[in-house]
Amino acid sequence: MIQQQLIARVRELCRADDRLSAALMYGSFVTGEADEHSDVEFWLFSDVEPEPVEWLRRVGPVQHVVVNEFGAHVAFFPGLIRGEFHFCRDISVVATWPHRDVEIIVDRTGALRAAVDQPPPETDEHDLGGRFANWLILTHRVAQRGELLRAVDALTQVQRHLLWMTRLAQGRAEHWLTPSRAAETDLPQPVVDALHRATATAGPESITAALRAAWTLGRDYAHLPPALTAELDAALR
């Protein structure tokens, strides 16, 4: 695959670039789930950050580079292959990740290995349930106003939090950073069916049905106060 050629080139560049104190690869090529549709994904750590676009052009024939909403540089290679590159100074950010399926490419000081080996932070289920309720109520309210496109947009966050909550409940948190990744194979079929029902198109009936499905699935996972739970029951069940 083209991706494997790109990965080999990135490894070569990282090991030769003394400006990098550490580098890692993450994603499906590390976990063994990659196929011809997969991206290549890296974090590059340096106190003196290289010029990102110039660095990426050394990897391969870059057609375009954009900085995404998370601050990563995304390079588009021929064949619509995406490469996601995080240029960062602070290696300790790795210790905040709940799951660390990574390949260490360079670790010149040992700081990256130390960060990877730290115990993962605990997930606050009540905080997660509160964020689920926040997006659920927002979706309900803007749909009531008639802002259907905004409701569909907010519903994507409802679904994301539903996926996190169901993954915790099922003990399947391995795809935590992208909880929709492999959900159809990670989670039991009845849960997957319920998650599918919690999706909507921009129509009042579709959004109402998705909200009800989301609340039915997420109600017991969210651990909300009784008064709020009762109000949501009345509105969505």
Rounded to whole angstroms, the Cα distance separating 149 from 137 reads 15
The confidence score (pLDDT) of residue 121 equals 83
Give 178-236 pLDDT, tens digit per residue: 899 999 999 999 999 999 999 999 999 999 999 999 999 999 999 999 999 999 999 99
Domains, the chain, with CATH or none: 2-117 (3.30.460.10), 125-236 (1.20.120.330)
Residue 120, amino acid:
P
Separation CA 17–CA 9 (nearest Å): 12
The rounded distance, in Å, linking the Cα atoms of 160 and 194 is 13
pTM reported for the whole predicted model: 0.79
Tokens 């009531």 locate to 144
Q: pLDDT for 116-167, tens place per residue?
A: 999 988 777 778 999 999 999 999 999 999 999 999 999 999 999 999 999 9
SS (H, E, C) 10-78: HHHHHHHCCCCCEEEEECHHHHCCCCCCCCEEEEEECCCCCCHHHHHHCCCCCCEEEECCCCCEEEEEC
> Looking at residues 97-105, what average pLDDT do you find?
90
CB 22 within 8 A of CB 108: yes
